[in-house]
Amino acid sequence: MNAEDYMNIALEEARKAQERDEVPIGAVLVDSKSGVIIAQNGNRTRELADPTAHAEVLVIREGCEKAGTQRIPDCDLYVTLEPCVMCAGAISFARIRTLYFGAQDPKGGAVIHGPEFFNQKTCHHKLEIHSGIFEEDCGQILKDFFAGKRNKA
């Protein structure tokens, strides 16, 4: 499998999140050596009544639990939207090897926007970052979701 295949799975997780009336963001955690998917999920903040239940955090939690450790440096993370500062922190603390994300988030993103988390002196983890994989599709699902919310109001 390649980056596009994993991002397609993340997009499917985003669609499932949308069906649950969650903000449609999906994530996939992959073993970088074998290419095996370790965890996949979408946002579940409303379902779990947990503001930290972002897709990225959920797959990192599952990956760490399966590995039996707090750090998973041999894992790559694919997510449909640029991670927020909370998720960037989790990615750093988990020592994720490579981050791939689809759409940029100028309002709430923390990787290439806002605080640029991984460029801060206080961030002790440097990782490889790739953006723009299926950027249009990843962004469109969010635009459609929020347009639907505005039309219902």
| φ, ψ at 29 (rounded to 5°) | -105, 130
Catalytic residue among 56, 62, 82, 135: 56
DSSP 118: G
CB 73 within 8 A of CB 96: yes
**Catalytic annotation on 56?**
yes
- Taking the C-alpha atoms of residue 26 and residue 28, their distance in angstroms, rounded to an integer, is 7
- Taking the C-alpha atoms of residue 8 and residue 6, their distance in angstroms, rounded to an integer, is 5
The token pair that represents 97 in the structure block: 């090897």
CB 9 within 8 A of CB 40: yes
Determine which helix (DSSP H) or strand (DSSP E) holds 8, and give its type and residue range: helix 3-19
Beta-strand relationship, 75-81 and 26-31: antiparallel
Give catalytic residue positions.
Answer: 56
